[in-house]
């Protein structure tokens, strides 16, 4: 097929008539990438494949994003066009806003095996770059975390460390790692791992991490918790091999390895002698579930681990923001439901559960509490909640339209399932709470409700809808906590990381809590947080104008 035929076929594809390409291959890729970036991607792929650059032809106006290449004699047309303005792709609107575009890659005829491989690589490269955050979007994320920016000053100790960061793929993770870069961690020595939650922009975060020069992959919590299937376990083994290689390379280059995690790596023995071949040099533990995993991990800790999970910072500030995000996500995923005046059963009145209960009651919800810890139950009762020592007891007394799990343990058993009212919603803010359903059993059937959850039909014939994917609901197709809401905790994590990298030898092996609280106090983080967000008259600094003035002086 000649070039003119190829061009007419491309036009047909853009009109939605794919039948005009009976023999050729084409892909249409949604993108937020500027048209000017497309040429760089095409050139990079051609160089990587050893294809002469004179095979690339600009067939439109210069810079218009229309190109033709020839792969083993077959013309391939590449065209980018803006299609629409879009809703902001970040929590704060970017200026200038990103514009959605589509990139069409279309072959004029059948491709050879080699040409098809080049075509596929080109599609992958465009797709990956097209998902990246724009510069303006990254600026909006950095501006949304002013405390991280304040404390991300140069730290000489960081220059001798590599970082493995395992957490949710959300914007505040992007902002935190950029802060660690500014403080001295080389981006080539950052390995980011997703915990596997279906956060809203996880693919964009992954794409941007790779574009930044980090290594990025998934080490799913289901593998760490022992609930993964065979395929997931096999994938995790491959990821662990990458982590091992990263640690070996870091040590070979004279660097120590810092892990910031929720126990996923430490639970496998990376911080203990005699368990794995590769050994890290220090860690920060972010979550209570991670502490539990560490307690059950093989071997004794032989590295210092700073306990961010029980720090005053997370207890006093972090959990309020987490609870707020939980309730906001719950209301958003059930927009047609009435909450005011209705019964909700809350399983677990711990640090998070108590705050979730408070938020719900402030919105007119009638909350009953179940907890097996007597002191927690007393606290709930003295705050005016109806209280029960077992889920079965509570379900016999009430017919809640919603049951919330905050325990981090199995909160609903096979014996209690028949007591659930028909049509009840189940919202888990810890992965294990409703695993009796998500892991399945004989006689249980299910129907997926996209972007809402899974509706289960129990052997009794009643139904229960598990919201989300059985994991923390505030991370299901959602960004989780607002960037400014987690700004202080991320800043505190950076401060603690600085302490560990400076003084790992002095701290010594084991879990450390007091040094975390002490270094955060000494850094003045709480005062900075108050001044930034809460002090009377506190406001954001005015943005500088092009002429160097501010909005206050213009």
Handedness of CA 117, 130, 195, 501 (dihedral sign): positive
Virtual torsion, Cα 152, 155, 159, 162, nearest 10 deg: -50
Peptide bond between residue 96 and the one before it cis (omega within 30 degrees of 0): yes
**3-state SS, residue 286:** coil
Same domain, 251 and 328: no
Kindly give, in sequence order, each residue whose CB lies less than 8 Å from that of residue 542, ignoring residues fewer than 6 positions away: 550, 551, 552
For the whole model, what pTM was predicted? 0.88
Same domain, 288 and 325: no
Same domain, 329 and 185: no
Residue indicated by tokens 């379900």? 395
Same domain, 200 and 85: no
Structure confidence by residue, pLDDT tens digits, 168-192: 999 999 999 999 999 999 999 999 9
Q: Tell me the CA distances in angstroms from 295 to 177, 299, 371, one per residue in order.
A: 27, 10, 22
Same domain, 157 and 181: yes
Kindly state the tokens that stand for 225. 């918790």
Residue 2 scores a pLDDT above 80: no
In a domain, 379, yes or no: yes
When pLDDT is averaged across residues 461-482 and rounded to a whole number, the result is 93
Note whether 389 and 381 are within 8 A (CB). Answer: no
Residue 16 scores a pLDDT above 70: no
Report pLDDT for 20. 42
Structure confidence by residue, pLDDT tens digits, 274-305: 788 899 999 999 998 899 889 888 889 999 99
At how many degrees (to 10) do helices 35-48 and 113-131 cross? Answer: 140
Counting DSSP H helices and E strands in the chain, the numbers are 19, 20
When pLDDT is averaged across residues 206-230 and rounded to a whole number, the result is 90
Task: Kindly report the backbone phi and psi dihedral angles of residue 30, in degrees, each rounded to the nearest multiple of 5, phi listed first.
Answer: -75, 140
At how many degrees (to 10) do helices 319-333 and 351-362 cross? Answer: 50
Task: Kindly report the backbone phi and psi dihedral angles of residue 456, in degrees, each rounded to the nearest multiple of 5, phi listed first.
Answer: -100, 135
Residue numbers of the domain that contains 448: 318-475
pLDDT band at 549, cuts 50/70/90? very low
Query: CA-to-CA distance for 468 and 438, rounded, in angstroms?
Result: 11
Kindly state the tokens that stand for 79. 């065209």
Kindly state the tokens that stand for 242. 């990458």
Residue indicated by tokens 């303006």? 136
Handedness of CA 438, 440, 443, 448 (dihedral sign): positive
Kindly state the tokens that stand for 199. 């956060």
pLDDT band at 62, cuts 50/70/90? low
Note whether 88 and 97 are within 8 A (CB). Answer: yes
Same domain, 468 and 344: yes
Which element (helix H / strand E) includes 474? none
Report pLDDT for 28. 93
Paired with 191 in beta bridges are: 164, 215
Note whether 494 and 503 are within 8 A (CB). Answer: no
Same domain, 415 and 468: yes
Same domain, 327 and 304: no
Same domain, 260 and 354: no
Q: Which of 131, 160, 188 is the last residue of a domain?
A: 131
Q: Which of 475, 500, 515 is the last residue of a domain?
A: 475
Handedness of CA 490, 525, 495, 319 (dihedral sign): negative
């Amino acid at each position: 097929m000649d070039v003119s035929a190829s061009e007419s076929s491309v036009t047909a594809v853009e009109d939605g008539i794919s039948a005009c390409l009976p023999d050729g291959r084409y892909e249409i890729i949604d993108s937020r990438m500027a048209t000017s970036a497309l040429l760089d991607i095409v050139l990079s792929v051609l160089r990587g494949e050893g294809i002469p650059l004179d095979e690339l032809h600009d067939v439109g106006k210069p810079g218009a994003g229309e190109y033709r290449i020839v792969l083993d004699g077959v013309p391939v047309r590449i065209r980018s066009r803006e299609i629409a303005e879009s809703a902001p792709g970040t929590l704060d609107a970017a200026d200038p806003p990103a514009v959605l575009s589509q990139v069409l890659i279309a072959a004029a005829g059948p491709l050879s095996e080699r040409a098809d491989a080049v075509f596929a690589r080109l599609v992958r490269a465009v797709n990956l770059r097209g998902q990246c955050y724009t510069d303006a979007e990254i600026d909006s994320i950095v501006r949304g975390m002013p405390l991280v920016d304040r404390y991300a000053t140069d730290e000489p100790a960081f220059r001798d460390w590599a970082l493995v960061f395992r957490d949710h793929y959300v914007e505040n993770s992007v902002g935190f790692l950029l802060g660690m870069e500014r403080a001295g961690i080389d981006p080539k020595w950052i390995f980011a791992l997703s915990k596997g939650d279906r956060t809203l922009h996880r693919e964009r975060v992954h794409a941007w991490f790779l574009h930044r020069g980090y290594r990025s992959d998934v080490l799913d919590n289901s593998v760490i918790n022992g609930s993964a299937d065979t395929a997931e376990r096999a994938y995790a083994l491959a990821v662990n091999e990458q982590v091992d290689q990263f640690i070996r390379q870091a040590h070979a280059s004279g660097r120590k390895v810092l892990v910031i995690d929720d126990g996923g790596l430490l639970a496998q023995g990376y911080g203990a002698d005699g368990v794995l071949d590769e050994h890290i040099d220090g860690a920060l533990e972010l979550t209570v579930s991670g502490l539990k995993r560490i307690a059950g991990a093989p071997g004794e800790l032989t590295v210092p681990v700073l306990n961010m999970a029980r720090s005053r910072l997370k207890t006093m500030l972090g959990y309020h923001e987490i609870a707020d995000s939980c309730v906001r996500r719950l209301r958003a995923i059930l927009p047609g439901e009435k909450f005011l005046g209705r019964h909700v059963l809350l399983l677990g009145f711990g640090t998070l559960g108590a705050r979730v209960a408070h938020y719900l009651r402030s919105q007119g919800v009638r909350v009953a509490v179940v907890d097996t810890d007597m002191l927690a139950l007393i606290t709930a009762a003295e705050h005016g909640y109806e209280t029960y020592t077992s889920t079965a007891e509570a379900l016999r007394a009430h017919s809640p339209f919603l049951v919330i799990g905050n325990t981090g343990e199995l909160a609903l058993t096979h014996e209690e399932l028949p007591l659930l009212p028909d049509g009840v919603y189940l919202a888990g803010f810890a992965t294990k709470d409703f695993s009796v359903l998500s892991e399945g059993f004989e006689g249980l059937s299910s129907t997926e409700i996209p972007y809402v959850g899974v509706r289960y039909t129990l052997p009794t014939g009643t139904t229960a809808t598990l919201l989300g994917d059985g994991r923390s609901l505030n991370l299901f197709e959602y960004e989780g906590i607002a960037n400014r809401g987690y700004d202080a905790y991320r800043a505190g994590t950076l401060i603690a990381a600085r302490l560990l990298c400076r003084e790992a030898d002095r701290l010594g092996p084991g879990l450390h809590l007091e040094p975390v609280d002490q270094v955060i106090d000494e850094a003045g983080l709480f005062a900075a947080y108050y001044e930034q967000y809460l002090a009377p008259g506190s406001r954001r600094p005015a943005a500088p104008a092009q002429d160097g003035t501010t909005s206050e002086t213009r």
